[in-house]
Structure 1
Amino acid sequence: MKSSSRFILILAMGLVLGFSFGMGSSVLADRPESKTLPLEELRTFSEIFGKIKGDYVEEVTDEQLLEYAIRGMLSGLDPHSAYMNEEEFHELQVGTSGEFGGLGIEVGMEDGFVKVVSPIDDTPAQQAGVKAGDLVIRLDEAPVKEMDLSEAVKIMRGKPGTDITLTIVRDGVDKPLKLTITRDIIKVKSVKSRTLEDGYGYLRITNFQNHTTEHVERAVSELKKANGGSLRGLVLDLRNNPGGVLGAAVGVADAFLEKGLVVYTDGRASDSKLSFNATPEDVVKRAPIVVLINSGSASASEIVAGALQDHKRAVIMGTPSFGKGSVQTIFPMSNSTAVKLTTARYYTPSGRSIQAEGIEPDITLDALTFTKVDDEFVPLKEADLNHHLSNGSQEEAQPEVIEDEKLEEGESLASQDYALHEALTLLKGLNILQARTE
């Protein structure tokens, strides 16, 4: 079986995105750009530092001012670069384990507000109705404008069992929404699976953690065992998956590919130029795959979707993805703090940059929901008419007896989920076409 242990580099998961652990500021020590100091600008910085120390209305320590300066320097670069103090760095490391305290939303910054990339499955945020794309403008009574991301996340996490009210602006809604959410311990199960119909499997990945690849392989193995040893098709659901560990994304894509490039990264530093290739063995033996994505599919999700799309291994269905195509490297500092710095962009096998563009689905689906029709209504057919003409070439069919039959779990899932229903229908069509061409 394929395993994530094949990959030398494991990139750990942050608030929204995948990033790698570096070895501190020494990584930059030998670069020419770091040898020339901008003396005039540093003199201006020193003057402003002194002016704040002497004239600001309240006393501010040197440590506070320097931390503010570092945070401002990094936040000015892009929405994902940030400084993490000792507590924030520790929370980050805890978050990669798949269990942490909070609301269960993956967030970023947009125009000074907290933007929801996606709510995590089976968490208080999802149950309260938080949606991908929501802009959080207040946390309780505190305005989010001008907060940095780490400060906002710290407020949202809090003690399990306590409430917080999020004031949200949502596209298509005239006035802000107020959602009160009870914090809880967030246990993220990254892989879920079930049989949709005989021979057709469903695999949902909620985010990419360190062990996601092996969990995917195990889930596929169990699906095959439950369906007579093989699958006729698979739906891979990456909707509202905010990303995570890059190594896990590479491993999942590799599980369905037999050869070729999966993803590569490119940046200014030599250690940011990386490429990852697939290894032999497709765990579903070339059975058709449909990948579901939406605007909440980001980062590592886009790597998987992009790789399978470029290799023509899967049909991508849904709505355009989030467009987070940059790599963040974590540089631990000597004082137990860390710097998260954008160091590269990643590219699909064909050389596409997903940054700010996202993955365009092969088949675009509108955001529709099913409405159940009256089960008692049965449309008339020719055979129902009095004195209808017989077929003439076969015995008359007996009227079908319709029993009140309870839907199977998988069938119920597809019947309530428009995108999943369309994916399953497409898989059946691909199987029919494949059988006719063999």
Structure 2
Amino acid sequence: MQAVLATALGAVLERHLDLVAPAQLGLWTMRGLAVLEPALQTELQSNTLLLSAPDRLLSARPMPSLPANGPPEAAAPALAAALAAMFDAAWRASPAIREAGPERMLRSGFEELFNHLDPYSRYMTPQEATAARARRVGQTGLGLRLATGPGAAVVIASLTPDSPAAEAGLRLGDRVLAVDGTPLSSRDLAAAAALLEGPIGTEVALRIQRGRRRFNAYLLRSTVPPETVHARRQEEILWLRLDGFSNATDTRLAEVLQDSFQDTVPRGVVLDLRGNRGGLLGQAVAVASAFLADGVVTRTSGRHPDAARTYISAGPDLARGVPLVVLVDGRTASAAEIVAAALSDRGRGVIVGSATTGKGLIQAVVPLPNGGELLVTWSRVLAPRGWPIQGLGVLPAVCTSLGAEAVAAALAQLRRGEAPMGRVLARLRTARAPVPGSEVTALRSACPPAEGRPADLAVAQTLIEQAAAYDTAARP
């Protein structure tokens, strides 16, 4: 347990967006045990952590301070040692704690800790981490996914129809013994996944066991990504809907745009991101780049030096500068918000809909000695103009969540050359992290989050048809 605590707390001290004193981290972690045993009380007095039962003091441990010279994570070993001793004292004193077991103790401690830090950092037990790693092991080039099966075997957990794996006759539950002669181990599914990866068009040999029969299956790697880009052309408007961001979304979008602009150039493009919960950050940058010339798409910032990055669009604008309307709603999140924020801040597109989710934090995955994982929020996403997406979300230039009368009034303002959300958007773009909760509430109340509605489509078409209204709405 001490090794898990040391690794986890070291990661928090080193990487988390906010630097918190070790004593405070220790207090929050120990107070998580009260979920399992309400009779236990933890207090911090004069930098000493006190664990008490109703009738006596169980443990008192001095808390380390942040080092005056050196990295903050240097305090983790001493903090972990103190907490491990206090966990042991709680274990010996409480039948409820012993019944819950060590894993529940860790989980309860970490849950209380992260309740005080941010909404997305969390601890995954070894079982949860194994399942998460299996979900991440999606070999799109072969159309199969590996997981741990009975007896710690590596088995095929899912198959994509018409994929190389399916065409080779592989079945769900088949045991995969080796890849290109290298034996597989369920203890490291990530390593197994790496063996399956390779350039498109190359062959991979799988040693398969089905019942008592063993045989070789030879698969040719190809691209089998989920279809995330849906396109239709109607009344000379190109309507694009993105369901998510897979590793092929940018390629597919580029193909659609190039095909659509090859002969007759459409009057405008509508990019529908409603309900899009996000995906790969790199794909978000690439999708935004498809509509942008050179310049900043997004930035990330954090306390750790490696968290500060700038993502640049390479250009050219594949939509050739035609009017672009981006539809969003309250379910638009994460990578989809990055796209919308970039197109809005750069003045390339008009956002229509409602306030989006406001998920603008990035987590690092930290493996733990017990096989679990820690997701630690270590950077925040910033729009090109520097405002944070987290909490605020993306606000539209034309709000549709306030009803039909408000939509009609907004369009009338645009026709007069007035931007109905202009002041709100100007205020949004001056926001800097951390944004006070009162300011977040005030900004988002201007256009409350809601699910997409038919009015979104009608507004998009109106803006493309009415150049003056579009130009007013598109002003960054």
Q: Given the two structures, how large is their TM-score scaled by the length of structure 2? A: 0.52
Query: Pick from 122, 125, 135: which aligns with 1:85?
Result: 125
Aligned counterparts, 1:11-50, within 5 A: 28=14, 32-37=71-76, 43=82, 46-50=85-89
Aligned residues: 278
Is residue 226–residue 246 contact of structure 2 (8 Å, CA) maintained in 1?
A: no
What does residue 231 of structure 2 align with? Answer: 193
Distance 1:433 1:304, change over 3 A: closer
Deviates more, 1:33-42 or 1:92-101: 92-101
- Distance of aligned partners of 1:26 and 1:42 in 2 relative to their CA distance in 1, 3 Å threshold: closer
Q: Is the 8 A contact 2:350 2:470 kept in 1?
A: no
Instruction: Give the 3 Å change call, closer, same or farther, for CA 252–422 of structure 1 in structure 2.
Output: same
Cα 1:51–1:87 change in 2 (3 A) is closer
Distance in 2 (CA, whole Å) between partners of 1:100 and 1:94 is 11
Bigger helix share:
2
Instruction: Give the match's secondary structure for 1:340.
Output: strand
Match in the other structure for 1:310: 345
Which amino acid is 1:296 matched to?
Answer: R
Superposed displacement of residue 188, structure 1:
6.0
Q: Do 1:259 and 1:280's aligned partners in 2 also have CA atoms closer than 8 Å?
A: yes
Question: Which residue of structure 2 lines up, in the alignment, with residue 418 of structure 1?
Answer: 455
Instruction: Point out where structure 2 has 5 or more consecutive residues left out of the alignment.
Output: 1-9, 16-68, 146-224, 405-452, 472-476
C-alpha displacement of 1:428: 1.7
Quick check: 253-262 or 48-57, which moved more?
A: 48-57
CA–CA distance in structure 1, aligned partners of residues 468 and 289 of structure 2: 23
DSSP 3-state at the match of 1:35: helix
Query: Where in structure 1 are there 5+ consecutive unaligned residues?
Result: 1-23, 102-186, 370-415
Q: Percent identity?
A: 30
Task: Describe the superposition over 1:302-355 as per-residue Cα deviations: whole angstroms up to 9, x where unpaired.
Answer: 111111111100011111111112111222345543211100111111111122
Contact 2:463-2:470 at 8 Å conserved across structures: no
Alignment deviations for residues 176-207 of structure 1 (CA, whole Å, 9 cap, x no partner): xxxxxxxxxxx96422111122x211111112
Quick one: which of 221, 229, 232 aligns to 2:258?
221
Paired position in structure 1 for 2:241:
204
Structure 1 partner of 2:281: 246
Please list every run of at least 4 consecutive aligned residues from structure 1 whose deviation after the TM superposition is greater than 6 angstroms: 98-101, 431-434
**Residues in 2 aligned to 1:419 and 1:59: alpha-carbon distance in whole angstroms:** 54
Shift in alpha-carbon separation, 1:40–1:301, aligned structure 2, 3 A: closer
Aligned-residue RMSD, C-alpha: 3.5
Q: Distance in 1 between matches of 2:249 and 2:135?
A: 15
Deviation sequence 1:265-288 (CA, Å, 0-9, x none): 000001100101111211111111
Match status 1:271 vs 2:306: yes
Which residue among 37, 51, 56 is the counterpart of 2:95? 56
Alpha-carbon distance between aligned partners in 2 of 1:88 and 1:31, rounded to the nearest angstrom: 34
Evaluate the alpha carbon distance shift between residue 196 and residue 337 of structure 1 in structure 2; reply closer, same or farther with a 3 A threshold: farther
Q: Aligned partners of 1:315, 1:59: CA distance in 2, in Å?
A: 57
Structure 2 vs 1, CA of residues 94 and 256 (structure 1 numbering), >3 Å: closer, same or farther?
A: farther
1:235–1:39 CA distance, 2 compared to 1 (3 A): same
Q: Which amino acid aligns with 2:270?
A: V
SS in 2 for 1:312: coil
Aligned residues of 2:362 and 2:381 also touching (Cα < 8 A):
yes
Counterpart AA for 1:51: A
Judged with a 3 Å threshold, the aligned counterparts in structure 2 of structure 1 residues 433 and 267 are, in CA distance, closer, same or farther, namely: closer
Q: 1:40 to 1:359 in 2, by over 3 A?
A: closer
